[in-house]
Copies of this chain bind each other. A is one copy, B any other.
């Protein structure tokens, strides 16, 4: 079933009018007929299944069928801080991390980041990524659209996250056969806790960046013995979190 996020919408007398954007997609693109159902996430996080009851030109109204009470959100809050990657990889990270349940993605300028988002184009890039996140959140039936943030500095990214648990994915850690830090952090976490995971760009983080992070109590953790690309590491981490907190625990 199609899912839509609706801003500034409240249920009045058991129904609501769709925003023009959502009305266009549901009625014109998806060719919904009166009687058809879709899922809607309203401003306050309320999720409902509602039925199309009236179309008038470009306007459309639905009536609530029932509220959705099962949650599709991860039981822990995950913030990714990713060194700015090359090309279209930021989009891939945002799309896949959203599907996998991330709460917030901070892109930061790492020492080895080849790309920088210059301040005049930054807002446009973020807006495009927010759109990708929104589409992925609708597609994966989430309640939350992840936030996308840009920081020029690594430690500002760490501050921005303000997380109770902090790890950095570190290739050298994996190479040296370290394989218990990730699991140790998971075991310490409670439902509702916030985890920050820092991930380097192509070429990884520098020794100096790792030191600045460990000085701030960010724990280096290997993600298995294979070397993962910069866009694969966040997906590995989120899938491991989902498995541990949603399926294994």
Q: Give A residues with C-beta under 8 Å from B.
A: 70-72, 96, 99-101, 139-142, 177, 179-180, 182-183, 186, 222-229, 232, 235-237, 239-240, 242-244, 246-248
- Copy number in the complex reads 2
Q: Which 4 A-B pairs have the closest CB atoms?
A: A239-B239, A240-B243, A236-B239, A140-B226
Q: Which residue of B lies closest to A178 (CB)?
A: B247
| Sample of 16 further A-B pairs with CB below 8 A, known A72-B226, A100-B228, A248-B248 | A70-B177, A96-B232, A99-B232, A100-B236, A101-B226, A139-B229, A140-B229, A141-B227, A142-B226, A183-B243, A236-B242, A237-B239, A240-B242, A240-B247, A243-B243, A243-B244
Is there an interface contact between A227 and B139, defined as CB atoms closer than 8 Å?
Answer: yes
A207 to chain B, nearest CB (A): 17
From B70, B183, B224, B237, give the contact of A225 (CB < 8 A).
Answer: B70
- Residue numbers in B under 8 Å from A100 (CB-CB): 226, 228, 232, 236
Q: Which residue of B lies closest to A242 (CB)?
A: B224
- Residue numbers in B under 8 Å from A227 (CB-CB): 99, 139-141
The 8 sampled A-B contact pairs (Cβ below 8 Å) are A70-B225, A99-B228, A180-B247, A223-B242, A235-B239, A240-B242, A243-B243, A248-B248
Interface of A, secondary structure class, is: loop
Is there an interface contact between B182 and A243, defined as CB atoms closer than 8 Å?
Answer: yes
Is there an interface contact between A247 and B226, defined as CB atoms closer than 8 Å?
Answer: no
Q: Which residue of B lies closest to A235 (CB)?
A: B235
A123 to chain B, nearest CB (A): 28
A220 to chain B, nearest CB (A): 14
A78 to chain B, nearest CB (A): 13
Q: Kindly state the separation between the CA atoms of A141 and B85 in the bound complex, as whole angstroms.
A: 21
Given A96-B232, A229-B99, A235-B235 in contact, is the A224-B244 Cβ separation under 8 Å? no
A233 to chain B, nearest CB (A): 10
Given A235-B239, A240-B243 in contact, is the A225-B71 Cβ separation under 8 Å? yes
- Residue numbers in B under 8 Å from A228 (CB-CB): 99-100, 140
Is there an interface contact between A225 and B99, defined as CB atoms closer than 8 Å?
Answer: no
Of the candidates A142, A244, A246, A247, the one having the most CB atoms from chain B within 10 angstroms of its own CB is A247
Is there an interface contact between B232 and A183, defined as CB atoms closer than 8 Å?
Answer: no
From B225, B237, B239, B246, give the contact of A246 (CB < 8 A).
Answer: B225
Is there an interface contact between A182 and B101, defined as CB atoms closer than 8 Å?
Answer: no
